[in-house]
Amino acid sequence: MTAQTVLEKDARAAFGHLRLDGVTRRFGRATALSGFDLRIEGGEFIALLGPSGCGKSTALNCLAGLLPLSEGEIWLDGQRVDTLPPERRGFGMVFQNYALFPHLSVRKNVAFGLSVRRTGKAETARRVDEALRTVELTEHADKLPGQLSGGQQQRVAIARAIVLRPKLVLMDEPLSNLDAKLRVQMRTEIRRIHQDLGLTTVYVTHDQEEALALADRVVVLRSGEVEQIGTPEEVYTHPASAYIAGFMGYRNLLELPVLAGGGPAEAGGRVTVGNEGGLVLTGVARQPVPGPRAVAAVRPEDLRVAGPPGSTAGENVMAVRVEVSEFHGREVAAEGVMDDGRVVHFRSPERIAPGDRVALTVAPERVLVFGDGAQDALSGNGEAFEDPAAGTGARDGG
């Protein structure tokens, strides 16, 4: 990594912080992004996470200067940048389809930004070599982009952006066109380059696994508004809403009437939801639960198979009939149906077969209760996110 020392110094010195101030973008009557506030510290890795249409790509394009703002301001330290055209912002961008110049060799693609800036020949050659070495593409330097594989093209796109020592690197779903194995590899690669070069990165993705793995802070967007900002741990363990819980692995979202607790005084305390004589769940609410109904969120892996129905009684017990069971190595992922028709996802270390009747229990501190937006969390969950459970499920192993 000795070759990177020059890049490193420049990037680290680039800026203190970037501030987005009420950034709003409308398309006709539709608001794609409304009042987006964010302060990004130099050296941070920020992930903008959300389903398609949530405004994350709009936010990135506004930052890059490819879309003018309808309202709001963007400040880089003391300088206002939202009025500058993209070519004068000095931000690097990696596009979803890489946007490599098809008529230029890999070397010339990477050198493009330098030659636009009329950098000297020797300096250009040195920095291009350095960038190509960083992404391990030295031996492909003279090929055209069309002769490279998807993963290699992706690395060219990254090299082309970082060779300019940009103040800020913007990445628009850069891994979405790669196959699953390469995606995980390149993810690590992106994080490594970010750390080694001391870059500041804003990364757009719809994949919560990617966002959690890469980012220092995750910004969850929904319908153009910020839903939650926090470290990956905060977002994963304390999702701010049932909507976020839904794609952070809380695959079971059960809408139920509130039975006890949930007043403003008891915020952060226990809430009991359920039907008299039927399913009753006690869980933790971090915000007051004002309404008569609430959503209880439970991760499949927090449900424990207690035995046949009737073996346990009382609260936090669900009796289900197994509908589907999938072999996942050490455990079985199963889908069961309760008597009232609600579907429950759970795991079992023991083999269970469709048709079996089992009782499931869950510890109260593992149940999250959300009072707000009960309805739309349920209807919104899963429709736009690409298989939310699969992503978080894979995380559990590691």
Identity of the residue, 170 or 279, whose beta carbon is nearer to another protein in the bound complex: 170
The reply to whether 112 sits near another protein by the rule CB under 8 A is yes
Q: How crowded is residue 324: how many other Cβ atoms within 10 Å of its Cβ?
A: 12
Measured from the CB atom, the residue of 63 and 305 that comes closer to another protein is 63
120 binds another protein (CB under 8 A): no
Of 145 and 371, CB closest to another protein: 145
Residue 75 binds another protein (CB under 8 A): no
Contact positions with another protein (CB under 8 A) in 124-163: 144-146, 150, 153, 160-161
Q: How far is CA 279 from CA 92, 320, 342, 361, in A?
A: 53, 11, 11, 11
Phi, psi of 324 (to 5 degrees): -135, 140
Is residue 98 part of the contact set for another protein (CB under 8 A)? yes
263: nearest Cα among 292, 295, 296 = 292
Place of tokens 């994350």: 56
Please report how the helices 5-12 and 180-197 are oriented relative to each other, as an axis angle in degrees rounded to 10: 70
**Contact flag: residue 64 with another protein (CB under 8 A):** yes
Do 294 and 254 form a contact (C-beta atoms < 8 A)? Answer: no
For the CB of residue 167, give the shortest distance to another protein in the complex, in Å: 12
250 binds another protein (CB under 8 A): no
Q: Is 343 in the site for another protein (CB under 8 A)?
A: no
The only residue of 92, 262, 288, 300 in contact with another protein, by rule CB under 8 A? 92
Q: Is residue 100 a contact point for another protein (CB under 8 A)?
A: yes
- Least separation in angstroms between CB 140 and another protein: 15
Stretch 163-182: interaction string toward another protein, x if CB under 8 A: -x-----x------x-----
Task: By CB under 8 A, tell whether 346 contacts another protein.
Answer: no
Dihedral sign for Cα 93, 98, 99, 102, please.
positive
The answer to whether 285 and 239 have CB atoms below 8 angstroms apart is no
In terms of DSSP bridges, do strands 280-284 and 332-338 run parallel, antiparallel, or are they unpaired? unpaired
CB 278, CB 238: distance < 8 Å: no
Question: Which chain residues interact with another protein by CB under 8 A?
Answer: 64-66, 85-93, 95-103, 112-113, 116-117, 144-146, 150, 153, 160-161, 164, 170, 177
